[in-house]
Structure 1
């Protein structure tokens, strides 16, 4: 049951980020340039704040944090905490409590089936998921 919910959450998470990115700038090169100049603001109902390689979005009470590191073909990167924050602030899922080990197990399953990919930098596998 939780596995199916997390798959839906992942789709919603990516759609949430892509909606923001499209409103901010539909062109990826332009997005990168604008994000380095416009570090915080509001657009299309989103409050946003870029910080380092990360970005914090808020819209309708939903908090979405992600890292934007175009170092490979997976532009969206996140850790367990960022996904958990998205889930717990989104009332649509009806989850008011979600333990980190439970979410970690589901995310690990998604890595095993190829839905997610872990970040590898310098030969080190990080606890960072990519999609």
Structure 2
């Protein structure tokens, strides 16, 4: 499951790199998105739709949905369904049931890669990628 979550994160970061470069975003995607950039469109082979605090990305028939964190917009927030949809539509990842994904997330929580998203100690039913784990990953910037 660790490889799957890494693929999920890298997919998101690659899109964000392409998006940031295209629109010259310097303060971070979630800081600048509402200012002058269309919330729905295409960049190359990416199709995107920003909604609320989240985004749906489609690329080569792979669907990736994610949200910015409730408290800290710099983190990635997701649900079991969103991660399942990414796995289900990605031909490079193994087939898993929704229950397998949930069990895998519990394992990622134990490894401190993912944490339950809490607001004032209330479980939101979603998960955040641990910021310390995000810092350990290197992201290749989009290059033409």
Q: TM-score higher than 0.5 here?
A: yes
Q: Within 1, Cα distance between the matches of 2:50 and 2:104?
A: 28
Aligned 1:13-32 pairs, distance under 5 A = 13-25=8-20, 27=25, 29-32=27-30
RMSD of Structure 2 on Structure 1 (CA)? 1.9
Q: Within 1, Cα distance between the matches of 2:26 and 2:76?
A: 12
The answer for the alignment partner of 1:42 in structure 2 is: 42
Tell me whether 1:69 sits opposite 2:64 in the alignment: no
How many corresponding residue pairs?
Answer: 124
Per-residue CA distance 1:59-87 (angstroms, 9 max, x = gap): 00100000013622751110000000000
**Runs of at least 4 residues of structure 1 off by over 3 A?**
none
Q: Within 2, Cα distance between the matches of 1:77 and 1:47?
A: 20
Q: Which runs of 5+ in 2 are unaligned?
A: 130-144
Q: Is the 8 A contact 2:30 2:73 kept in 1?
A: no
Q: Which structure has the higher relative contact order (CA within 8 Å, separation 6+)?
A: 2
Q: Which runs of 5+ in 1 are unaligned?
A: 1-5
Q: Within 1, Cα distance between the matches of 2:29 and 2:74?
A: 15
Normalising by structure 2, what TM-score?
Answer: 0.77
- 1:72 is paired with a residue whose SS is coil
Select the structure that is richer in helix. 1
Q: Is the 8 A contact 1:20 1:44 kept in 2?
A: no
Q: Is the 8 A contact 2:55 2:67 kept in 1?
A: yes
